[in-house]
Amino acid sequence: MKTISMPQLLQRYPPEYFGTLSTFGAITEETVRGLLEGGRILQLSEGDILYRSGSRVQEFFVLCAGKIVLYRNYDSLPVAVRTFSPGSRLALPG
């Protein structure tokens, strides 16, 4: 997992892309830009762990691209219980 800058993000996704995501669709491009500038933009790779079960929720995330799969352990085995897609909002520990 690494932090990327807003210019790096905008090289991959033009500003109008964010208006197609459910979280950002009803707000202005200027407001989206303000959120991106004021927030932290993370790039995750397959297998990165964003948080572990039982951690305290301290951050709010919006998935801009890709997918995140939430796993829970049942009988000591990881089981996928939810998949988040672009535009999904997640409140996760930080």
Task: Give the count of domains, the chain.
Answer: 1
Q: What is the pTM of this model?
A: 0.77
The domain that holds 65 is classified in CATH as 2.60.120.10
pLDDT at 92: 60
Cβ 60 vs Cβ 91: under 8 Å: yes
pLDDT at 79: 93
Q: Kindly report, residue by residue over 21-54, the tens digit of the pLDDT.
A: 888 888 888 888 888 888 889 999 988 988 777 7
Write out the residue range of the structural domain in which residue 63 sits.
2-93
Q: Kindly report, residue by residue over 42-91, the tens digit of the pLDDT.
A: 999 988 988 777 777 788 888 999 999 988 889 999 999 989 999 998 87
Task: Give which of 35, 19, 16 is closest to 27, Cα–Cα.
Answer: 19
Cβ 91 vs Cβ 57: under 8 Å: yes
